[in-house]
Amino acid sequence: MQPGLSFEQAPPISVPFRFFLTAPLFGMAAGLLLLWQGPAALASRWTSAALALTHLLAVGFMLQAMCGALLQMLPVAAGANIWQPRRVTQFTHAGLTVGTLLLVAGFLFETAWFFRIAVPFMTVSLGAFALIVLIALFRTPAQGPTIIALRIAVFGLIVTITLGATLASSFGWQLALPLTEITHVHAAWGLGGWSLLLVAGVAYLVVPMFQLTPPYPAWLTRSFSVTLFFLLAAWSITWLPLQRPDGFQVALACAAALLAVVFAAVTLRLQAQRRRKVIEPTLLFWRVAMASLVVAASAVIVQQLNPGTEDYAGTPFLLGVLLMVGVFMPVISGMLYKIMPFLNWMHLQKIGRPGLVVPNMRQMIPEPRMMMQFRLHLAALALLLGAVPLPWLVYPGGVALIASCIWLEWNLVVATRNFARFSRELEERLAQEQAPSS
Amino acid sequence: MSGITSALQHHHKQCDEDFAEAEDAARKGDWATCAANYGKFRTELLAHFGVEEEVLFPAFEQRTGMAGGPTQVMRGEHVQMRDLIKQMDEALAQKNADGFGGAAETLLIMMQQHNMKEENILYPMIDQALGQDGEIQSRVTAGLNA
């Protein structure tokens, strides 16, 4: 099959938008849970509330937005056509949304039957999504580092889902499994193998594209995803309960974290060399994300080299905030502020005809509103990091997180409503043009 | 890469420079600098479209018999980008910084994703179909430097 190169392959605008409009709602829920728990949220990563919180952000916010963006992006950026795009997206969105609710309910109420429903539900919907995307990525004639990073990322998602389903099954059916070990590996693949590689694959394309920076150096794009994959795989094997070569495990974890630092540092350097001088929200979100990644990955190295820090409950909270609130939520917000206005414009083009002026991207979401959300998110990040030494800061931090997510949601709603309004106006103008001649 | 399309790939990058200068100047209200850089960018971009539409795409279509395929999609995107150029022309004439910036931002993303599709998919197909056709190569080079 020839690549279409066309947006015709892409699903209707409502399909990706439903993912994007759902994601911030889970972010708000996470903020509310933080307020409800207060400083207890920092007590341990193993409490029901901490697990619910993690999954509200990682699955509810991050995975939701990432799936929507990936489905939209594949035909355009990778020339990869999705089988039955409309059905697949609807099925994935429903599965992911209901699945997240079931999973979080299972953690919060510690009720086995929530997990018993969530496991088949999420495994089927997410598993099908991952397989269909992976097939599309292997069938595309396009090549290059992005395609390789995306293939490994989706493989990482499959590992994450498999281990997650195993863990949830053990809660649902009281299976005796080494939960701690599986959780470590599950989290590493979810954050590193899937999320970070997805961000890297996308970054190779969009960092030069949005800011007109030099391209990523070939030594990085050629080696980053493959090396990270092998480090993660080797590190995962050291968790097998045969024996525990501690030094080797620490070395692998540090090497993987160091690789993440290199990626973030190269991205920051490229952005510093950008030819486009305009400072805009997407650039700021990316810069915060890459700075947070440098700090988070360095913290992982410090933690690995100082075994005692693991016992300090603030460590996992710190890493979780840095990675989810500091790295992935900002990248996603910044990307949504480009993707949604561009899709609006693109779909409006289809309604109009050549020569008919369609509102441009800047008219979809007012820039000051995006900047406001950026500031709120930065405040949430700072306050939640501050909560590690000063636990009461978790209250203003939770409020700021909710405010940032409400603002994001509202900005995305504005984009959606503007699309509807501009479509109507275009149709009216077309009708008026045709009226005199008929 | 030494195929026919390598000159076009290089040309994509060159268009970016003038674009960035023009966008920054418009934001600062420096309309003289904006007009100078935008003028250069506009000429380069239209020359690029011209070479593709008049030389490269017809040769590819003739050689492969694929007339309604990817080249048609690329022509459609050229039309959309020409519309944005027209909006930028008007904004420049009216010294409307918001209008210029908005159309420029849209053109940037449109242009970049268009280049990406050409560089990743269409150009390799064209290089494969046309091989080292010296005549086409010299017409491409001549068109870009015209």
For A395, the token pair is 């209250």
Q: According to the model, what pLDDT value does residue A7 have?
A: 47
Cβ atoms within 10 Å, residue B116: 22
Query: In angstroms, rounded to a whole number, what is the distance separating the alpha carbons of residues B73 and B121?
Result: 12
Q: According to the model, what pLDDT value does residue A8 have?
A: 52
3-state secondary structure of A117: helix
- Domain residues for the domain of B85 are 6-145
Q: According to the model, what pLDDT value does residue A245 have?
A: 56
C-alpha dihedral sign at B109, B111, B113, B115: negative
Is B111 among the domain residues? yes
Interchain CB distance below 8 Å, B112 and A355: no
Q: Which residue of A has its CA nearest to B77?
A: A6
Interchain CB distance below 8 Å, A2 and B117: no
- Would you say residue B68 has pLDDT above 80? no
B105 touches chain A (CB under 8 A): yes
Q: Which residues of A touch B102 (CB under 8 A)?
A: 360-363
Residues 107-136 of chain B with CB under 8 A from chain A are 108-110, 112-113, 116-117, 120-122
- Number of A to B CB contacts under 8 A, please give it: 84
Query: In angstroms, rounded to a whole number, what is the distance separating the alpha carbons of residues A165 and A189?
Result: 14
Q: Shortest Cα distance from B145 to chain A (angstroms)?
A: 23
The ipTM value here is: 0.85
Total-model pTM: 0.92
Q: Mean pLDDT per 10-residue run, chain A (438 residues)?
A: 49 86 98 94 87 97 95 76 81 93 95 93 92 90 87 97 95 89 94 97 92 93 96 92 74 96 98 90 97 97 84 86 98 96 89 79 93 98 96 96 98 96 90 72
Q: How many domains does chain B have?
A: 1
Query: In angstroms, rounded to a whole number, what is the distance separating the alpha carbons of residues A133 and A70?
Result: 9
Interchain CB distance below 8 Å, B19 and A77: no
Q: Which residue of A has its CA nearest to B66?
A: A2
**Interface with A, mutate which of B17, B77, B84, B106 (most A CBs under 10 A):** B106
Q: Which residue of B has its CA nearest to A210?
A: B109
- Would you say residue B121 has pLDDT above 90? no
Query: Quick check: A193 and A228 in contact, CB under 8 A?
Result: yes
Interchain CB distance below 8 Å, B83 and A4: no
- Would you say residue B131 has pLDDT above 80? no
The CATH number that applies at residue B78 is: 1.20.120.520
Q: According to the model, what pLDDT value does residue A438 have?
A: 46
Q: Shortest Cα distance from B20 to chain A (angstroms)?
A: 5
**How would you label B39-67 residue by residue, b for 16+ Cβ within 10 Å and e otherwise?**
ebbbebbebbbebbeebbbebbbeeeeee
Cβ-nearest to B122 among A5, A212, A355 = A5
B64 touches chain A (CB under 8 A): no
Write out the DSSP string of A177-193. Answer: --HHHHHHHHHHIIIII
Q: Class assignment of domain A10-420? A: mainly alpha
Domain locations along chain A: 10-420
Is B1 among the domain residues? no
